[in-house]
Amino acid sequence: MTATDTQVLLDAVRAFVDDELRPHAEEFDRDEHLPDHLLKRVGELGLWAPFLTGVPMVTVGQIHEEIGRGCSSLRSLLTVHGMASWSVRHWGDDAQRERWLPRLTDGSLLGAFALTGPEGGSDPSVSATTAEREGDGWILNGRKKWITGGQVAGLYLLFARTGDALTAFLVPRDTPGVTVEPLHGILGTRASMLAEVVLDDVRLGDDAVLGPLGWATGTVMTSALDFGRFSVASGSVGIIQACLDATVAYTTNRTTSEGPLFERQLVRQKISDMVTGLRTSRLLCREAGRLKDAEDPAAIMANWIAKYHASTTAAACASAAVQLHGAAGCSPEHPVARLYRDAKVMEIIEGSTELQQITIAEQAYQEVTR
């Protein structure tokens, strides 16, 4: 991709966000739904899985940042669709790629990522969803919870226990025995159409197994989550940008008995923290993207750090943004209330803040004692 191609693509994404996404984000959030025509536009712009058509990861990160600036619910759909598409591309055999990738590329088929069950998400090894061998196929039973895009996805990248270990399966939504139960009233990313996916004697052939049998941990799951973390980190940068934009505009126009808010030093301190947090988060995401493009193993840790920093910074900036809006920040008339709820979710998904702290510190100890 030339520098000009990249700029044309990013300009188109920015225009889409400003004209078609951001003005309707509160409505989508209230309705807990993203309209079909919007999802179609994402496909027309080639944004569902741009890495499948040669767009470098650093640019994918910039796209997810822009979408995150407009609407974290849509960015969440891009995240899980990307995780499924990335996995088929990297772990699928020729037949699986031929069968699934064309429709995942143009978004006529949406993918979702189904790892977490009601039994817990931080430790996937506790998965209660099982896949048992029967003849030359598999029977899956269990329940997956909090599945982003679960209401609209046509293909689930789903993890189930095969014996003592986990295996990844590609489960078409229309397989008999699959039931989708929509989830409502979630704190943030409310329009990301979450669902529980219930599996009741779901019969699949060997062609549904993605990657090595019994080795999903460390292969399919790890690389999908790595993609997801990069997307969420980048989307968090977009949230910070949106918080900064909204707060600068509001404090410029809002006047108290002492004059305009923007003249107050305590207000400027919060703004300067947002600007600095935006810059550091963006730089960490770009570094992770560049290392990914270079297929450098250091990309994995750079990505953990980027996600940890960007998501915690987004939560802090969104809190400051609501604070500086006062009561107005608690109303749906200003986007900061939505940004505040969405930012909190970024600290939980694709590896919670605590898991990132554990992983980053563990790496430090390994490096020192090596």
Q: How many angstroms from the chain centroid is the CA of residue 21?
A: 17
Give the residue, chosen from 28, 48, 113, 138, that forms a contact with ligand FAD under the rule CB under 6 A: 113
115 binds ligand FAD (CB under 6 A): yes
Q: Are 293 and 58 in contact (CB under 8 A)?
A: yes
Task: Give the integer Cα–Cα distance in Å for 305 and 359.
Answer: 9
3-state secondary structure of 296: coil
Report DSSP letters for 307-318, one per residue: HHHHHHHHHHHH
Residues in contact with ligand FAD, total (CB under 6 A)? 21
Task: Give the integer Cα–Cα distance in Å for 112 and 149.
Answer: 6
5 binds ligand FAD (CB under 6 A): no
Residue with CB nearest ligand FAD?
121
Task: Give the integer Cα–Cα distance in Å for 348 and 114.
Answer: 16
> Which of these segments, 21-29, 46-54, 280-288, 349-357, binds ligand FAD (CB under 6 A)?
349-357
Q: What is the DSSP letter of 120?
A: B
Tell the smallest beta-carbon distance from residue 53 to ligand FAD (Å): 24
Q: Which of 78, 87, 113, 56 is nearest to 288 (CA)?
A: 56
Tell the smallest beta-carbon distance from residue 39 to ligand FAD (Å): 16
- Residue 217's Cβ-side half-sphere holds a number of Cα atoms within 13 Å equal to 12
Residue placing its CB nearer to ligand FAD in the complex, 16 or 48: 48
Length of the chain: 370
What tokens appear for 166 in the block?
């986990």
> Which of these segments, 15-23, 64-72, 111-119, 273-281, binds ligand FAD (CB under 6 A)?
111-119
Residue placing its CB nearer to ligand FAD in the complex, 122 or 252: 122
- The type of residue at 158 is L
Q: Which of residues 123-142 bind ligand FAD (CB under 6 A)?
A: none
| Cα torsion angle, 185, 189, 191, 193, sign | negative
Tell the smallest beta-carbon distance from residue 194 to ligand FAD (Å): 6
Q: Which of residues 185-214 bind ligand FAD (CB under 6 A)?
A: 186, 189, 194
Catalytically annotated residue among 134, 347, 350, 367: 350
Task: Give the integer Cα–Cα distance in Å for 302 and 159.
Answer: 26
Catalytic-residue membership of 98: no
116 binds ligand FAD (CB under 6 A): yes
- The helix (H) or strand (E) run that includes residue 210 is strand 209-210
362 binds ligand FAD (CB under 6 A): no
Q: Which of residues 317-346 bind ligand FAD (CB under 6 A)?
A: 345
296 binds ligand FAD (CB under 6 A): no
Tell the smallest beta-carbon distance from residue 320 to ligand FAD (Å): 22
- The helix (H) or strand (E) run that includes residue 180 is strand 178-182
359 binds ligand FAD (CB under 6 A): no
160 binds ligand FAD (CB under 6 A): no
- The helix (H) or strand (E) run that includes residue 209 is strand 209-210
Tell the smallest beta-carbon distance from residue 186 to ligand FAD (Å): 5
Tell the smallest beta-carbon distance from residue 60 to ligand FAD (Å): 18
Residue 272's contacts (CB-CB under 8 Å, 6 or more residues apart) are none
Active site residues: 350
Binding site for ligand FAD (CB under 6 A): 80, 113-116, 120-122, 146-148, 186, 189, 194, 345, 348-349, 352, 354-355, 358
